[in-house]
């Protein structure tokens, strides 16, 4: 997810060929903007704020998709990715962009989805297509604060009222962090750690954008974000102070997915849009505006993303149990009084 722009202080195998063929076939067979629902009706794409806002990848991807197919896109803002399923109930959409691997089980149980097959694509699951990914990490400014070396280090006095994190009840990265802690330490010990973390927390935000904005404003010295976030500051602000704290214990990764609900009205175009996100053209836009790692590894060759530190990616061994007990765990989170 892209850092906020300066005015607010504020990532496969070669699927592109098959998707490109499908797009060309669509244009040839139906003509620009025509479909079974009717010409002139826009394809409705629901996504999180930093995707749909003017500085995010959404508007440019929508424009490129319209140039290729003649299909106009209407971007709808769900705020944080953690709210996508709730917003989908209020604002029906043809495409949903930004669900992560922790939300996929809930998404599948809540409604039916069109299958999106992608043989050989890393992270694909047969129903949803991955379009970018990134390891979670705490971001700091070099020379301003000594970075943490592991989760336990966050309890050190130097981080008193210095850390900005997201609320797991509303935010996708916030839920990733909660599960990271509980997987690493066990549920009971994990909640004791979170209780001990309270003095370190400066901001508990309802979205990633809110918390990263607080960090960029200089109000917090450390923000839960992504290993890739410093690239924004290096390339757009020429500010090399921004760094990701590397934990020897490893980092979990968040994978972002696109899906097409069965209730779609422009279903054929929705699938084309989902597959368009995996073409090199769209992958480059995602990488340079979402500031996440692309699914197509070749897209990042020769870019600043190659200068990021190497980190060990860890799988959450207890993820299945954590997802099963999610509601009870979120109640325990609420009881912490954060």
192, 309, 186: which is closest to 248 by C-alpha?
Answer: 309
Same domain (yes/no): 37, 152? no
pLDDT at residue 80, rounded to an integer: 77
d(CA 316, CA 72): 40
Please provide the average confidence, as pLDDT, over all residues in the chain: 89
- How confident is the model over 46-70, as a mean pLDDT? 95
pTM across the whole model? 0.83
Is pLDDT larger for residue 31 or for residue 214?
A: 214
pLDDT at residue 158, rounded to an integer: 97
pLDDT-based confidence at residue 12 (cuts at 50, 70, 90): very low
Same domain (yes/no): 204, 330? yes
pLDDT at residue 119, rounded to an integer: 82
Burial of 60 (0-12, 13-18, 19+ CB in 10 A): middle
For 275, list phi and psi in degrees, rounded to 5: -70, -25
Same domain (yes/no): 127, 144? no
Same domain (yes/no): 319, 233? yes
pLDDT at residue 42, rounded to an integer: 96
d(CA 305, CA 290): 12
Q: Structural domain of residue 151, as residue ranges? A: 134-253+309-335
20 pLDDT above the threshold of 80:
no
Same domain (yes/no): 206, 265? no
pLDDT-based confidence at residue 39 (cuts at 50, 70, 90): low
Same domain (yes/no): 74, 102? yes
Task: Give the tokens for residue 230.
Answer: 């410093």
Burial of 292 (0-12, 13-18, 19+ CB in 10 A): buried
- How confident is the model over 57-75, as a mean pLDDT? 97
pLDDT in tens, 295-307: 999 999 999 999 9
- How confident is the model over 133-161, as a mean pLDDT? 97
Question: Which residues make Cβ contacts (< 8 Å) with residue 226, sequence separation at least 6?
Answer: 1, 134, 135, 136, 137, 139, 173, 244, 254, 291, 292
pLDDT in tens, 92-105: 999 999 999 999 99
d(CA 37, CA 269): 11
pLDDT-based confidence at residue 50 (cuts at 50, 70, 90): confident
Is pLDDT larger for residue 252 or for residue 83?
A: 252
pLDDT in tens, 169-228: 989 899 999 999 999 999 999 999 999 999 999 999 998 889 999 999 999 999 999 999
pLDDT-based confidence at residue 82 (cuts at 50, 70, 90): confident
Three-class secondary structure of residue 143 per DSSP: coil
64 pLDDT above the threshold of 70:
yes
* Residue 110 maps to a domain: yes
Three-class secondary structure of residue 44 per DSSP: strand
Please state the domain count of the chain: 2
Same domain (yes/no): 31, 174? no
- Say which range, 20-29, 155-164, 298-307, has the weakest mean pLDDT: 20-29
175, 218, 216, 220: which is closest to 202 by C-alpha?
Answer: 220
How crowded is residue 203: how many other Cβ atoms within 10 Å of its Cβ?
19
* Residue 178 maps to a domain: yes
What string of DSSP letters covers 272-327?
A: HHHHHTTSHHHHHHHHHHH-SEESSGGGGTTSGGGGSPP--B---TTHHHHHHTHH
Task: Give the tokens for residue 30.
Answer: 């139906």
For position 20, which CATH number holds?
Answer: 3.40.190.10
Task: Give the tokens for residue 290.
Answer: 């979402």
* Residue 1 maps to a domain: no
Residue given tokens 């008193």 in the structure block:
160
First to last CA, the chain: 24
* Residue 260 maps to a domain: yes
Same domain (yes/no): 331, 321? yes
- Is 295:123 a contact under the CB 8 Å cutoff? yes
Same domain (yes/no): 246, 286? no
130 pLDDT above the threshold of 90:
yes
Same domain (yes/no): 94, 141? no
d(CA 244, CA 265): 42
* Residue 226 maps to a domain: yes
Same domain (yes/no): 112, 186? no
Same domain (yes/no): 39, 111? yes
127 pLDDT above the threshold of 50:
yes
pLDDT at residue 269, rounded to an integer: 98
């Amino acid at each position: 997810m892209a850092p906020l722009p300066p005015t607010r202080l504020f990532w496969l195998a070669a699927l592109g060929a098959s998707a490109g063929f499908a797009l060309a076939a669509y244009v040839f067979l139906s003509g620009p903007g025509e479909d079974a629902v009717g010409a002139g009706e826009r394809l409705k794409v629901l996504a999180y704020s930093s995707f749909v806002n003017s500085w995010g990848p959404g508007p440019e991807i929508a424009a490129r998709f319209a140039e290729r197919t003649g299909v106009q896109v209407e971007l709808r803002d769900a705020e944080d990715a953690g709210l996508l399923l709730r917003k989908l109930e209020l604002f029906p959409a043809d495409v949903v962009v930004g669900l992560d691997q922790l939300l996929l089980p809930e998404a599948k149980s809540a409604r039916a989805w069109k299958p999106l097959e992608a043989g050989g694509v890393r992270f694909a699951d047969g129903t949803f297509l991955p379009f970018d990914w990134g390891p979670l990490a705490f971001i700091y400014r070099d020379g301003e604060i000594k970075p943490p070396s592991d989760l336990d280090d966050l309890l050190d006095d130097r981080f008193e009222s210095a850390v900005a994190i997201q609320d797991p009840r509303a935010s996708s990265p916030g839920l990733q962090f909660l599960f990271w802690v509980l997987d690493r330490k066990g549920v009971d010990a994990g909640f004791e750690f979170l209780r001990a973390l309270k003095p370190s927390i400066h901001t508990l935000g309802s979205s990633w954008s809110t918390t990263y904005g607080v960090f960029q404003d200089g109000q917090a010295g450390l923000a839960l974000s992504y290993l890739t976030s410093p690239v924004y500051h290096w390339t757009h602000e020429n500010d090399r102070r921004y760094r990701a704290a590397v934990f020897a214990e490893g980092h979990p990764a968040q994978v972002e997915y696109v899906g097409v609900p069965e209730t779609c009205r422009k279903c054929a175009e929705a699938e084309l849009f989902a597959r368009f996100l995996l073409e090199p053209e769209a992958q480059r836009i995602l990488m340079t505006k979402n500031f996440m790692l692309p699914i197509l590894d070749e897209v990042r060759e020769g870019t600043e993303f190659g200068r990021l530190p190497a980190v060990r990616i860890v799988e959450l061994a207890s993820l299945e149990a954590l997802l099963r007990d999610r509601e009870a765990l979120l109640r325990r989170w609420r009881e912490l009084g954060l």
